[in-house]
Every structure is written in structure tokens, then in C-alpha cells.
Amino acid sequence: MNDAISHQLLHPSHWKAAVGYANGVLATGRTVFVGGQIGWNGDQVFESDDFVAQVHQALANIVEVLQVAGAGPEHLVRLTWYVTDKQEYLARLKEVGAAYREVIGKHFPAMTMVQVADLIEDRAKVEIEATAVIPDA
């Protein structure tokens, strides 16, 4: 199965179009589970307290973990976002979208976003966990 047909987006035909995410994904292959990634670098150092910069870094961290498994952003089937400030996310949605497209591209897996009271790392403003499926060779 090649990458182009390894993931099928699931969207009931009578539902309003999903924008920037998928309602569901059907995938076949090897599964990669990426634990929650936050906006610090590989040395566990925050380079910024800016929300969008942390989103960018968390997504870049996910891509780096995927690379270890021989996967890329195109293999993502699910992202779960945890944010500490829903209003900041909404206010900066265009910037978040630009950061997302820069790191992930125009690939939109099933996504969930949850506002949480806090994250384990005090400076973290976002944590994103991911699931990817690599097609069988």
C-alpha cells in the first residue's frame, strides 16, 4: 500500500465540511505513538514563552520523533492538543495555522483540542500527542 492510499479520511456525506482537521481516519500499517510534546527543544530548554513559538516547537518535536520510526507528518492520523489558554489559541488561530502548515504541511489528521488548567512543565503553554500509521511495505 503506498502513502497516497494508506489513510482514508472519514467524513459522513451529510456533515458540514471539516476545516483544518479530519473527523476520522482509517489507516493500515505500523502504528507510532508519540507521547505529549511541549514547546521545548531536544535539550529540554524553552527558547520562547510565546504560545505560537511553543506550538511550532511541539510540532517540530513530533516530526523528529516520527523520523526515528521512518515516518513523516504525512503519516499522522491523530493529534490531541492540550492548551492552557483557549482564548489565546482562538485569538492567534491564523498564526497557529501558519506554524502548523510550516511544520506539518497541508495534512490534517483527526484532531482533538482540550483546555487544561495546567501542564507539568510550568512554562509549557501547549502539549500535543500524536499517533501515526506507516503503511506496510
Distance of CA 86 to the CA centre of its chain: 16
pTM of the model: 0.91
User: What do you get for the CA distance between the two ends of the chain, in Å?
Assistant: 7
Q: Mean pLDDT across the chain, nearest whole number?
A: 93
C-alpha cell read off for 94: 491564523
- Say whether pLDDT at 38 is over 70: yes
The one-letter amino acid code at 98 reads A
Contacts 24+ apart (CB under 8 A), 21-27: 21/108, 21/109, 21/110, 21/111, 22/108, 22/109, 22/110, 22/111, 23/110, 24/110, 25/77, 25/78, 25/109, 25/110, 27/77, 27/133
Beta strand 7-10 with 76-83: parallel, antiparallel or unpaired?
unpaired
Task: Read off the pLDDT of residues 77-105 as tens digits, 9 standing for 90 and up.
Answer: 999 999 999 999 999 999 999 999 999 99
Return the pLDDT at 19: 86
What per-residue string of b and e applies to 54-72 under the rule 16 or more CB within 10 Å gives b?
bbbbbbbbbbebbeeeebb
